[in-house]
Amino acid sequence: MRQKRLKSRHFGTAGADVMRVLKIECPECGSKAVIRKTNRKHRQIADIYCACADVECGHTFVMNLTFSHTLSPSAKTGDMMMQKWLNSLSPDQKQMAFDLLKPAAAAV
């Protein structure tokens, strides 16, 4: 029986960095494992169903993937908060906020 080879996947475009892919190792033999299914329990918690790529091992197992903490906040989050805040202001309040943001040298 002929064994199927796993093809590596390259993400990104020419000149861009290649995106890293989660690599799973079999807890029994240490060989590469393949993710067969992902069961999301929550936005930040998932069960990952895996199978060892070593045909002689054949171990299947479930791993848990969880979000731990943020190292650098998303720029999108801050931008959206600022946009919501600005949209909630009256036109006079918006103008006052913009005036406060102008450099002090321009006011002289």
**For the segment 44-82, what is each residue's pLDDT rounded down to a tens digit?**
999 999 999 999 999 999 999 999 998 988 877 777 788
Residues found in the chain: 108
**What pTM, to 2 d.p., does this model score?**
0.55
Judge whether residue 30 has pLDDT over 80: yes
Q: Which residues of 22-60 are buried (b: 16+ CB within 10 A; e: fewer)?
A: eebebeeeeeebeeeeeeeeeeeeeebebbbbeeeeeee
Task: Give start and end residues of each alpha helix (H) in 1-108.
Answer: 75-88, 91-101, 104-107
